[in-house]
Amino acid sequence: MDDDAFRACVRSWLAENLPPSLVGAGGPGSEHELVPERIAWERQLGAAGWIGIGWPVEDGGRGLPWRQQVIFLEEYAQAGGPGRVGHIGEQLLGPALLMFGSEEQKARFLPGILDGTSLWCQGYSEPDAGSDLAGLRTRAVLGDDGQWHVDGQKVWTSLAQFADWCFVLARTSADERHRGLSCLLVPMRQDGVTVRPIVQLTGTSEFNEVFFTDAVAADLVGAPGDGWRVAMGTLGVERGVSTVGQQLGFAREFDAVLASARATGALGDPAIAARLTDAWIELQVMRFYASASLGEGSQGVEANIAKLLWAPWHQRLGELTMDIMGADGTVVGASYELSDAQRLFLFTRADTIYGGSNEIQRNIIAERGLGLPRG
């Protein structure tokens, strides 16, 4: 199918199938919205073959070229498709198994991701291992029963309360730092797993703490001790995933902020008008950068550079939208219910922290991109 026909096909499917109640739901800062409905939506996407469209055909994907993957993301964003709850399975676990999993693991786990029936969460960060991931302490010991027994605590785990499985990075030997780590596939629905929501500064809970107390897992990806290689390989995928769909989301957010400036009359303030124009210019620049780094593969530091462009931009947009609201921005609804502007303003404070803090991104660019010597 050529690109235009593919686009038309995506567009018409979304027009016919996307429930109006889900349009725009579950975006950043609203990830707690309409979760059961969005879980059902994942199954609908999966049944229609829209999950893993770039995966190899022999692994159950459709083997579509990156151009068409981008077209899907563009159309999805254009239609206002809801924030995905299956993205960790599709964008993290799936690629990890495609790269490092056994044939048996692929056969067992990939179909559930592709049809949207099994939901995954990611267990990397810990209270004492944020940016310094190699310092993590969760342990897994191989028992006489042939199962791995997991003990420890993970933090900032999105969607843990809904997930069927967790992709856990744990220490399987006493070796120092990253050498003793392994990646385990841990079922979430068992006695040894407890999930506790974290109330964030937004008052909502997109993230959780997950406690493992003698939780059991049968599967380890790769060999014991391969965990760092697997996690870094998939971290690259996570950060390198096309930002095109994200760009369209940003464009929608910008349009909403611009509309609010029109509605309140703030657009008549030359300082606000200048900030809006600069934000629009930078939005175009991010789009140009996304297209320039697309198709080349993310072998270098493109994903790190992209993050240093979008995360601060998004924060500034959040600040701008509050300044447009003016005094009204200081009042919230009952039970601390936030407006879109307030949610954007508050939630974007996380953008420069998660997915590798911006300081970590700068370290990577300085070392790998610029070749500056380590201290």
- Catalytic positions, please? 238
Q: Which window, 62-70, 112-120, 293-301, 345-353, contacts another protein (CB under 8 A)?
A: 293-301
Q: Which window, 6-14, 165-173, 298-306, 345-353, contacts another protein (CB under 8 A)?
A: 298-306
Q: What is the DSSP letter of 357?
A: -
Q: Tokens standing for 33?
A: 């919205």
How near is the Cβ of 283 to another protein at its closest, in Å? 11
Those residues with Cβ within 8 angstroms of residue 250's Cβ, 6 or more apart along the chain or in another chain: 283, 286, 310, 313, 314, 317
Binding another protein (rule: CB under 8 A), the pick from 301, 317, 324, 344 is 301
Backbone angles phi and psi of 63, in degrees to 5 = 60, 30
Task: Report how far Cα 189 is from the mean position of its chain's Cα atoms.
Answer: 22
How near is the Cβ of 239 to another protein at its closest, in Å? 14
Nearest to 155 by CA among 130, 119, 190: 130
Whole-angstrom Cα distance, residue 342 to residue 71?
31
366 binds another protein (CB under 8 A): yes
DSSP annotation string for 334-372:
GGGPPPHHHHHHHHGGGTTTSSS-HHHHHHHIIIIIS-P
132 binds another protein (CB under 8 A): no
Amino acid at 264: T
271 binds another protein (CB under 8 A): no
185 binds another protein (CB under 8 A): no
Sign of the CA dihedral with 307 first, then 295, 89, and 181 last: negative
**Residue nearer to another protein on the CB measure, 2 or 296:** 296
Q: Please name every residue paired with 153 in a beta bridge, in sequence order, or none if there are none.
A: 211
CA distances, 96 to each of 171, 261, 326 (Å): 18, 44, 46
258 binds another protein (CB under 8 A): yes
Those residues with Cβ within 8 angstroms of residue 280's Cβ, 6 or more apart along the chain or in another chain: 254, 258
Kindly write out the interface string for residues 212-251 of this chain, putting x where it contacts another protein by CB under 8 A and - elsewhere.
Answer: ----------------------------------------
How near is the Cβ of 170 to another protein at its closest, in Å? 26
Burial state string for 103-138 with b = 16 or more CB within 10 A and e = fewer than 16: eebbeebbebbbbbbbbbbbbbbbeebbeebeebeb
**Residue nearer to another protein on the CB measure, 214 or 367:** 367
Residues 60-119 that bind another protein (CB under 8 A): none
357 binds another protein (CB under 8 A): no
Q: Widest CA span of the chain, in angstroms? A: 72
Binding another protein (rule: CB under 8 A), the pick from 281, 332, 336, 337 is 281
**Residue nearer to another protein on the CB measure, 102 or 291:** 291
374 binds another protein (CB under 8 A): yes
277 binds another protein (CB under 8 A): yes
Helix axes 302-325, 244-264, angle to 10 degrees: 20
Whole-angstrom Cα distance, residue 48 to residue 57?
15
Q: Which window, 49-57, 86-94, 166-174, 273-281, contacts another protein (CB under 8 A)?
A: 273-281
131 binds another protein (CB under 8 A): no
365 binds another protein (CB under 8 A): yes
Q: How many CB atoms lie within 10 A of CB 240?
A: 18
Number of residues located near another protein, criterion CB under 8 A: 43
Binding another protein (rule: CB under 8 A), the pick from 8, 129, 256, 305 is 305
Would you say 228 and 252 are in contact if contact means Cβ atoms under 8 Å apart? no
How near is the Cβ of 145 to another protein at its closest, in Å? 40
Binding another protein (rule: CB under 8 A), the pick from 131, 262, 328, 336 is 262
Binding-site ranges for another protein (CB under 8 A)? 258, 262, 267-268, 273-274, 276-278, 280-282, 284-286, 288-289, 291-293, 296, 300-302, 304-305, 308-309, 359, 361-363, 365-375
